[in-house]
Structures are given as C-alpha cells and as structure tokens.
C-alpha cells in the first residue's frame, strides 16, 4: 500500500526511521517532507500535502507526525475527505480504522519511543474498517456535514431535565 508520510522538525528523525519500517512491512512510503531539519518550520503544509495526496489516491493511507500529533491531526482534518485520528495506544490505533475508517494517522514523536510509535502506525495500517452499519451511517453523517454544512435531519437529541 502507498503511504504518504509528512512531518515538521519535531518528527524528522522518526519519519526517517518509519520510512524504512514501512518499506520492510511491504508498504510504499512517499515522503511529503520535511526534508531537512529547520526548528522554525511549520507543520500545516506537510500535513496538507499528506492529506491531499491520500484523498487523491483511493486505497492509500497517510501518516502525519509532530511533537504531540495534535496540531497535525487538526491540520490534516481540514482537507475534505480526510478522517485523521490521533493515536496514542493500540486501542486507539485499531479503533480509528475499525470504527472511523480513518485514512490518516497522527502520532506524536515526542510522546512515544521509536519502537512504540512504529508499532502504533503499523497496527493502524494493518487494521481494516469493520464495515458495520452503525459506523457506515456515522461516517456518512460526518461526510454529509462536511459537504453541505447542514446538521442531520432532526437536529440534536432532545434531553429532558436539563436547562
């Protein structure tokens, strides 16, 4: 599988390691930058590149890397069609794919050892979407909102006993 990978300076060393691990696992890593260390670089352009290329190539997945992974996930999710998930343990890596059909994984290089971060990314890539009707429905609601900016029919659930 083709895997687009991007980071700012905070994840540069991990990205280089991950490209080798991806190739060793049979994937085709595509480096979307950064290509050299610059402590003043900004993560959004690298995340946009990964996200846009992932959406443009069905069947591919993306990896965005930063210090925490938070900003990188937010940036990637600004690209229509992206469902980026921040992962921090095995459960979040698997559930991002199984329940959310996430197509981009975000990881904080400063939050994990190299081995742990690699394991989480590879687990994300190896996990399939469950296809369960409830998850398909929920993803559809998100996709519809992303496209039309209208809430689902019926609005918010009614709650009794709350002001």
Specify if 163 maps to a domain: no
In a domain, 47, yes or no: yes
Domain extent at residue 68 = 2-130
Q: Say if 155 falls within a structural domain.
A: no
Range 10-28 average pLDDT: 98
Residue 14 lies in a domain: yes
Q: Is the pLDDT of residue 160 over 70?
A: no
Examine the residue annotation and report whether 99 is marked as an active-site residue of this protein: yes
Cα–Cα distance for residue pair 76/84, rounded to 1 Å: 6
**Residue 154 located in a structural domain:** no
Q: Does residue 101 lie within any of the structural domains?
A: yes
Catalytic status, residue 112: no
How far, CA to CA in Å, does 112 sit from each of 47, 67, 116, 158, 160? 20, 10, 6, 41, 43
Q: List, for residues 39-91, the tens digit of each pLDDT value.
A: 999 999 999 999 999 999 999 999 999 999 999 999 999 999 999 999 999 99
Tell me, yes or no, if the pTM score tops 0.75: yes
80 in Cβ contact with 38 (< 8 Å): no
At residue 156, does pLDDT exceed 70? no
Catalytic residue among 27, 52, 72, 112: 72
Could you give the number of structural domains in the chain?
1
What is the rounded distance in angstroms from the CA atom of residue 53 to the CA atom of residue 31? 11
Q: Which of 9, 17, 99, 135 is catalytic?
A: 99
> What is the reported pLDDT for 150?
83
Residue 162 belongs to some domain of the structure: no
Q: What pLDDT, on the 0 to 100 scale, is given for residue 10? A: 97
The answer to whether the CB of 80 falls within 8 A of the CB of 52 is no
**CATH number (domain holding residue 76):** 3.40.1400.10
Instruction: Give Cα separations from 23 to 31, 38, 51 (angstroms).
Output: 12, 26, 20
């Amino acid at each position: 599988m083709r895997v687009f990978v991007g980071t700012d300076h905070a994840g540069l060393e991990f990205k280089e390691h991950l490209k080798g691990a991806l190739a060793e696992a049979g994937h085709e890593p595509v480096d979307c930058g950064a290509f050299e260390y610059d402590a003043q670089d900004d993560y959004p352009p690298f995340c946009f590149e990964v996200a846009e290329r992932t959406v443009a190539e069905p069947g591919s997945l993306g990896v965005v890397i930063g210090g925490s992974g938070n900003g990188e996930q937010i940036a990637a999710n600004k690209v229509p069609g992206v469902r980026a998930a921040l992962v921090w343990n095995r459960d979040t890596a698997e559930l991002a794919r199984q329940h959310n059909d996430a197509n981009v994984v975000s990881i904080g290089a400063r939050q994990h050892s190299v081995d742990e971060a690699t394991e989480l990314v590879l687990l994300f890539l190896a996990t399939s979407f469950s296809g369960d009707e409830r998850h398909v429905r929920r993803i559809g609601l998100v996709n519809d909102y992303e496209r039309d900016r209208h809430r689902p029919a019926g609005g918010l659930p009614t709650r009794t006993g709350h002001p």
